Amino acid sequence: MRSRIFVKLMFMFLLVIGVTAITLQLTVHKVWERTLREQIKLNLKQKTLMFAHRVETDRQHSLADITSQEGQAAGARATVIDPTGKVLADSEADPSTMENHARRREFVSALAGEVGVDERKSQTLAVPFVYVAAPVSGGAVRLAYPLPEIEITDRPLGVALFWGSLTAFVFAVMVATVASQYVGRRLQRIVNFAERVANGDLTARIASTSSDEIGQVASALDKTTRRVEESFARVQTSQRELETLLNSMQDAVIAVDVDGRVQWANRGMDRLLLRAPRLNAPLIDSVRDPDFLAAIQEAARDQVVTSARSNTIASGRTFDVTAAPMPGGGAVAVLRDLTETERMEKTRRDFIANVSHELRTPLTSIQGYTETLLDSPLEDKHVRDFLEIIRKNAARMSRLTEDLLTLARVESGEQRFDAQPASVEELLHDALESFREVARSYGVELVIENSVPASHVNADREAIHQIFSNLIENALKYAASGKKVILGARAAASGVEFYVRDFGPGISSEHLPRLFERFYRVDKARSRESGGTGLGLAIAKHIVLAHEGTIRAESELNHGSTFLFTLTASEPDSA
């Protein structure tokens, strides 16, 4: 790493030095050269004026001697011409061989009375010169300075720039070496720290006392690692708590990913399968129950909670399967063992059915003998009253046993319903005709409010008649004060919804969730007086459920009650 940093730093230093050298060459060197030219012109102008003054005042020396002496003293070529441009004297050439200088720009200005300056290559010596001419009486004088002299003067500056750049380069190499070693050590510490964190060592720490950018990066990484360690510790704690909770459950729990591979299973699942499912292996390798697999696939695919019943995961055992989607894909399934519950429920139903069946014969006998005694002449009025009480209670017990038998057959599925397309309007009118006279005996009007004439539902007519019987009897017994009971039907999303509405005292809201439980009574004393068994609504509920419908109640105190149940719609029977 240090070598890479060294190369990068060296490249940057060389780039800076190169740019600096080029900048100096293009700016300082050019400025220096331009300043030198201006200085030479200024000095040459002063010397030219002194040359002109001597030509004007010196009468002891010849013009050729003056020209030679001034040229040598100025380190330049000296020339004197007359007003016509003829060369009268020159420090380096024979005047007679020289051409006329009247058209030279510096002499044009000088003959016009001004100091003239020009730069050009000499036609005689083929060397670039700076020419400065000044006017004198009877002509003009001129000094010419060769420009190569400027290059000679300028050469030490280029050499100085070169050696300065070389010195800067050597210094840059030293600085780059020291800086790369220093920065490399600091970055290597950060890299080692990051590798430890990447390998899972969240206890790694990196201390930095520097406040520069590298120090800030190290400090930020250290803070991030501390927070990640704290978060990871919390996640691990939550995971252990969750694993402990799931392993303590009696229900079996298993989770799969989007590809159907096992990700996790609790101990209940291990005990159920006799051996732990292999992690990251397809679920079908451990469980082959089609209903269970279909529930998990549907939950993962459609992102909905799915329920199913499984009978083949473990021999002789029944499980209720609930599969729910996981946020990251896949699904988790919970298997609840229903074997014992169903066994106890079957035992209860069998017990109720057997007891009810056994009670029918003695109750019938009691009723028969009681009615026979009541038909006989009895002198004692108290004996007749006692016999009437026995008859009423025997009749009530007989109704109770019949309802228990009916409920047991419906719950167990022993009673089969022959669902056929039935007209909604006919079902309502059958119920109306059956209970019209009964309603009149209670002083209640029984009417049909709404119906769906063209609609049909899948229903067993006798079973639906029994539902209406239970609902209408309840309405007549408990809501006779309303003087009216309404039957009706209306279209619903799941089919057709039937309802029985009364205008009696209503039912308090806390009783509504339990109305369809067996033996549940809102007013127990009144129910006993009316001869009710407390099983009518429970029977109605199980008949509706057997038709794959729903049943519910709506009520408010002093505003009557409405009992509603839905049946699935069907097409009328073409036969």
- The pLDDT tens digits of the residues spanning 152-161 come to 555 666 666 6
Say if residue 8 is in the same domain as residue 144: yes
**Region at 242 (left for phi over 0; alpha for psi -120 to 50; beta for the rest):** alpha
- What's the pLDDT at 108? 86
CA neighbours closer than 13 Å in the CB half-sphere of residue 137:
6
Any domain includes 407: yes
Q: What is the pLDDT of residue 133?
A: 92
Same domain, residue pair 327 and 349: no
HSE-up of 517 (CA within 13 Å, CB side)?
A: 8
- Helix ranges (DSSP H) in 443-549: 461-478, 524-530, 536-546
pLDDT of 92 reads 83
DSSP 316-355: T--EEEEEEE-TTSSEEEEEEE-HHHHHHHHHHHHHHHHH
Reported pTM? 0.45
Amino acid type, 109: S
Q: Are residues 76 and 91 in the same domain?
A: yes
Length of the chain: 575
Q: How far apart are CA 189 and CA 199, in angstroms?
A: 15
- Answer yes or no: is 179 within a domain: no
Q: Which of 279, 311, 337 is the last residue of a domain?
A: 337
* Domain containing residue 352: CATH number: 1.10.287.130
Q: Are 98 and 122 in contact (CB under 8 A)?
A: no
Please give the single-letter amino acid code of residue 153. Answer: T
Contacts 24+ apart (CB under 8 A), 212-220: 214/183, 214/186, 214/187, 214/190, 217/190, 218/186, 218/189, 218/190, 218/193
**In the predicted model, what is the mean pLDDT of residues 499-515?**
84
Alpha helix (H) residue ranges in 86-212: 105-111, 148-198
pLDDT over threshold 80, residue 90: yes
pLDDT surpasses 60 at 407 = yes
Q: Is 144 helix (H, G, I), strand (E, B) or coil?
A: strand
How far does CA 139 lie from the centroid of its chain?
Answer: 97
Cα dihedral 120, 123, 125, 126 sign? positive
The domain boundary residue, chosen from 396, 412, 428: 412
Instruction: Characterize the bridge pairing of strands 445-450 and 484-492.
Output: parallel
Write the pLDDT tens digit of every residue in 451-465: 777 688 888 888 888
pLDDT tens digits along 36-79: 778 878 888 888 889 888 888 888 888 888 888 888 888 888 98
Q: Are residues 383 and 279 in the same domain?
A: no
- Flag whether 160 is in a domain: no
Please indicate, yes or no, whether residues 17 and 117 belong to a single structural domain of this protein. Answer: yes
User: How far apart, in whole angstroms, are the C-alpha atoms of residue 478 and residue 536?
Assistant: 13
Kindly list the strands in the beta sheet with 306-310, ordered across the sheet, starting from the edge strand earlier in the chain: 262-265, 252-256, 331-337, 319-325, 306-310
Q: 165 lies in a domain? A: no
CB contact set of 356 (below 8 Å; sequence gap of 6+): 401, 402, 404, 405, 408
Q: How far is CA 500 from CA 378, 453, 476, 531, in A?
A: 45, 17, 11, 21
- Same-domain status, 293 and 360: no
Q: What is the mean pLDDT of residues 360-373?
A: 73
Q: What percent of the chain has pLDDT over 90?
A: 3
Say how far apart CA 552 and CA 383 lie, in whole Å: 46
Q: Torsions phi, psi of 331, nearest 5?
A: -155, 160
End position of a domain, from candidates 119, 152, 185: 152
Q: Within this chain, do residues 328 and 347 fall inside the same structural domain, yes or no? A: no
> Are 271 and 360 part of one and the same domain?
no
What is the average per-residue pLDDT within 6-34?
69
Domain housing 351 = 341-412
Q: Are residues 432 and 562 in the same domain?
A: yes
Q: What is the mean pLDDT of residues 336-362?
A: 70
Residue 196: inside a domain: no
**Which of the pair, 382 or 93, is modelled with greater confidence?**
93
Contacts of 238 (CB under 8 A, 6+ apart): none
Most confident of 145-159, 353-367, 425-439: 425-439
Mean pLDDT of the chain, nearest integer: 78
Sheet containing strand 77-81, strands side by side: 87-90, 77-81, 139-146, 128-136, 116-121
Which residues lie closer than 8 Å to 79 by C-beta, 6 or more apart? 67, 87, 89, 90, 91, 101, 141, 142, 143, 144
Specify the CATH number for the domain of residue 138: 3.30.450.20
101-150: per-residue pLDDT in tens?
Answer: 888 888 888 888 888 888 887 766 667 788 899 999 889 999 988 876 55
Sequential DSSP letters for 49-106? HHHHHHHHH--SS-HHHHHHHHHHHHTSEEEEE-TTS-EEEESSS-GGGSPP-TT-HH
Mention every residue, 6+ apart, whose C-beta is less than 8 A from residue 90.
Answer: 67, 77, 78, 79, 80, 98
34/147 same-domain check: yes
Looking at the structure, tell me whether residues 38 and 134 fall in a common domain.
yes
How many independent structural domains does the chain possess?
A: 5
Do the Cβ atoms of 495 and 479 come closer than 8 Å?
no
Q: Kindly report the CATH number assigned to the domain that includes residue 438.
A: 3.30.565.10
Residues in CB range of 132: below 8 A, 6 or more apart:
41, 44, 45, 48, 106, 115, 116, 117, 142, 143, 144, 145
Considering the domain boundaries, does residue 372 fall inside one?
yes
543 plus 468 within the same structural domain: yes
Task: For 266-320, write each residue's pLDDT tens digit.
Answer: 877 777 777 778 788 888 777 888 888 888 888 888 888 888 888 777 777 888 8
- Supply the pLDDT for residue 525: 47
Evaluate whether residue 382 is within a structural domain. yes
User: What's the average model confidence in pLDDT over 186-191?
Assistant: 73
pLDDT confidence tier of residue 565, bands split at 50, 70 and 90: very high
Q: What is the pLDDT of residues 234-245, one digit of tens each?
A: 877 777 777 777
In a domain, 360, yes or no: yes
